[in-house]
A = this chain, B = another copy of it.
């Protein structure tokens, strides 16, 4: 019961945050892309294609594609590894930091609102 209540609350915070993000016309990132972005920003470097593929349990080409997308958005960047010229380090960017800062703020705001105002949830016709 308590668990179910927590789950519902958690899901609702998640909903509020992601709905706001979509409404703000943020880049429409997939779960893979978002998980990669968050990993690069919130876990200790170095981050490599191989390492991210293992962590997320997806193929290396899938990581390459996600990095391509995020690089196109200037949210991460590739840096050749000086110690192993086969390897590429995935690093942060200013834009990525800004995006995640704002996204974090959306979550915090959503958590604070937490079922106080229901203005934005009511369907149109009533």
Contact = CB atoms under 8 A, between A and B. Distances in A.
Interface of A: 3, 6-8, 10-12, 14-15, 18-19, 21-23, 25-26, 28-32, 34-35, 38-39, 41-48, 50-51, 54-58, 92, 97, 100-101, 103-105, 107-108, 111, 120-126
A49 to B, nearest CB: 11
A57 B22 contact: yes
Copies of this chain held together in the complex: 2
Determine the main DSSP class of A at the interface with B. helix
Given A11-B100, A34-B18, A108-B3, A123 B56 contact: no
B44 A11 contact: no
Contacts of A121: 39, 42-44
